[in-house]
Amino acid sequence: MRSLLSFFKGVNSLLVFLPISIVLHFLHGVSPMIVFATAALAIVPLAGLMGHATEELAKRLGSAMGGLLNATFGNATELIIGIFAIREGLIELVKASIVGSIIGNILLVLGASILAGGLKHKVQKFNQDQAESHAINLLLATLSLAVPAIIASHYHQRNSAGNNDIENLSLAVAAVMLLTYLASLFFSLKTHEKIFRSIEPEHEEPPQWSKKLAFLVLGIATVLVAIESEFLVKSVEGAAKSMGVNDVFIGIIIVAIIGNAAEHSTAIWMALKNKMDITINIAIGSSIQIAMFVAPVLVFVSLMLGHPMTFIFNMAELAVIGLSAIIVAFIATDGKCHWLEGAQLLAAYVVIALAFYFLPG
């Protein structure tokens, strides 16, 4: 009984919204805003459970398999939400959530972590080789997302029944990004694993869950996230109207924060413990995973669902991704950080959030 009560402490206490959201979804006359809010609150602890189960499996299956599991399930919440949004034809919401997840991780998560850690530790150090590799991958992802839009804008090409050039370009770019991401995983987990080790002595905690329990929790949490994602997506347009904001703001800020809430707390906690290598890996690594794994997968899935999604992001979205990646590259590649850099990243995020908030609905 005591262990059960301890399980429902902290973020897991939000699991109470799981049955509430299910009931509200099937009740007639309930405000979409309430359904959206309860589904969002239910997804937060479920995403955390998925992440914890993945970590437990990684401890038992070794670094190579653990890295592959993290690559597959690290941003599964965003992937699931994206799939349901594509099924509903909300392509612009999906693109906005991709942008939001990328900038949310490298500005909000990393900024809050560096600020919190810097207030406790005057100067924090991390593996410069790892940070440089992440920064290069992030800039490559930015280039890959930008090229189709630049080509389309310059040559005035549009998708039509007789012109699928941009769609085909998006598919080709998605394939290149996936292959590059897999290559970077092989590089960091196999051929050059030593240079990616933490500069701090590692004291890895033993697994707390059995392999069977971890697989069970991962499976159940994934199914429940899929259910809640459907509720979230079906209520998003009504919620946007109720809140008086536009769909782009919902995707870039709110949906992105929901999908990354569990990672936010972990990254900050690691920074407070002066384990900045883990923090950098969580924040920048997650952005890379969104750009080079989740986004390409969603492009291929969109074809199967009959709602093709291209890599034609608008210039405002591309600008915030590109400028954010450049700022982070300057901060992350010198091997050290302090609290002011965290505050600067958070300031950049607030400016971007305000800009999209005041877009016309």
Q: Which of 311, 302, 323 is nearest to 146 (CA)?
A: 311
Q: What is the C-alpha to C-alpha distance for residues 69 and 51, in angstroms, rounded to an integer?
A: 10
The residue with greater pLDDT, 202 or 310, is 310
Write down the mean pLDDT value for the chain.
Answer: 84
pLDDT-based confidence at 265, cuts 50/70/90?
confident
Any residues with CB less than 8 A from the CB of 124 and at least 6 apart, and which?
A: 114, 117, 118, 271, 274, 276, 336, 337, 338
Tell me which amino acid residue 86 is.
Answer: I
Q: Is the pLDDT reported for residue 109 higher than 80?
A: yes
Nearest one of 285, 304, 346, 344 to 126, comparing CA atoms: 285
Q: How far is CA 229 from CA 27, 39, 40, 74, 210, in A?
A: 17, 7, 8, 16, 28
Q: CA 43, CA 45: separation in Å to the nearest integer? A: 6
Average pLDDT for residues 75-83, to the nearest whole number?
88
**Residues 320-334 pLDDT 10s:** 999 999 999 888 778
The proportion of the chain whose per-residue pLDDT surpasses 90, expressed as a percent, equals 32
pLDDT confidence bin for 108, thresholds 50/70/90 = very high
Query: Which of 173, 172, 218 has its CA nearest to residue 56?
Result: 218
Q: Are 16 and 227 in contact (CB under 8 A)?
A: no
For residues 39-67, average pLDDT: 78
Per-residue confidence band for 2, with pLDDT thresholds at 50, 70 and 90:
low
Give the pLDDT of residue 160. Answer: 45
Across residues 243-249, what is the average pLDDT?
Answer: 82
Q: What is the pLDDT of residues 132-182, one digit of tens each?
A: 888 888 999 999 889 888 887 776 555 444 457 788 888 999 999 999 988
Which amino acid type is present at position 266? T
Q: Binning pLDDT at 50, 70 and 90, where does residue 8 land?
A: low
Q: What's the DSSP call for residue 201?
A: P
pLDDT in tens, 344-359: 999 999 999 999 988 7
CB 115 within 8 A of CB 271: no
Q: What's the mean pLDDT in 122-128?
A: 87
**For the chain, what percent of residues have pLDDT higher than 70?**
87
Please report, for the chain, the start and end positions of each structural domain, with discontinuous segments joined by +.
2-357
Alpha helices in 74-127, H assignment, sequence order? 76-87, 91-103, 110-120
Which pLDDT value is given to residue 275?
A: 84
CA 175 to chain centre: 20
Fold of 2-357: A middle domain of Talin 1 (1.20.1420)
pLDDT band at 58 (very low <50, low <70, confident <90, very high): confident
